[in-house]
Amino acid sequence: MYSQKGCTVIRYTAPWKTIFFAESFGFKSLHTPAKRLLELLFDYSIENRPVLFHVFSNGGVMLYRYIIEALHTQQPFKNLKVAGTVFDSAPGRRNLRGALRALATVLASMNVLLRYLLMLTFATAVVLLRILLYPLTRFIHESHYDALLKAPSRWPELYLYSQADAIINASDVKHMADARQQLGVSVKAVDFTDSAHVSHMRVYPTYYSTLCTTFLSDCVRALPR
């Protein structure tokens, strides 16, 4: 989709162990990969070109959170020209049932006993660290959702979500979009209504592509020359 528009595309998928366990237990395991991804822009000598982030699900949000931090605190990343961000099926918060569904899908091929043990461990960690003790643990490792609510970035954001998403609550996405808009961010949110988690492009390929490429064009056009 973006390659057809002449863009250089860099993809990264975080390991499931990092997403569901390291980050859930409060370890900032995606901090280094986030920095390395930004360094790739310089490795490819494209640091002067506009940058668009396309973030999928909460795993992508976890990584994006650290990217934002690096963009606003570290040289030479501060000089990168970020055009905007697309969020696909994200972000979500405190949806333990949805998170367990996602983890169950990832662990589907694993031994049944081990699968349920890992799911129990994950659920226990989330309930303790992200729900019951969160008023205290947030001072050590704030949730990615809360961090994004007040993120210093002000470039445009496009939220693509669905009421039929069984992993990420549509209300969480809408709340984030509204909160960001109140901070002065240019926000557009599109509800696909009946497509499943990260399946909007598969179900509505033409509409999805048009939304993303139009957003990209509008964002690049709005950048200062």
Tokens for 111? Answer: 């031994």
pLDDT given for residue 149 in this prediction:
96
Q: Round to whole Å and give the CA distance between 167 and 38.
A: 28
First and final CA of the chain: distance in angstroms?
25
Residue 106 has pLDDT above 90, yes or no: no
What mean pLDDT comes out for the span 9-35?
89
Q: At 99, is the pLDDT very low, low, confident or very high (cuts 50, 70, 90)?
A: confident
Q: What is the mean pLDDT of residues 42-66?
A: 95
Interval 135-147 mean pLDDT: 83
In this predicted structure, the answer to whether residue 145 has a pLDDT above a threshold of 80 is yes
Q: What is the dihedral of CA 35, 40, 43, 45, to 10 degrees?
A: -110
Write out the E strands in 25-135: 51-56, 82-88
Q: Report domain extents, the chain.
A: 3-93+143-158+178-222
Which pLDDT score is estimated for 10? 95
Task: State both tokens at 191.
Answer: 């509800």
Residue 202 has pLDDT above 90, yes or no: yes
Asked whether the beta carbons of 73 and 31 are under 8 A apart, the reply is no
pTM score, whole prediction: 0.90
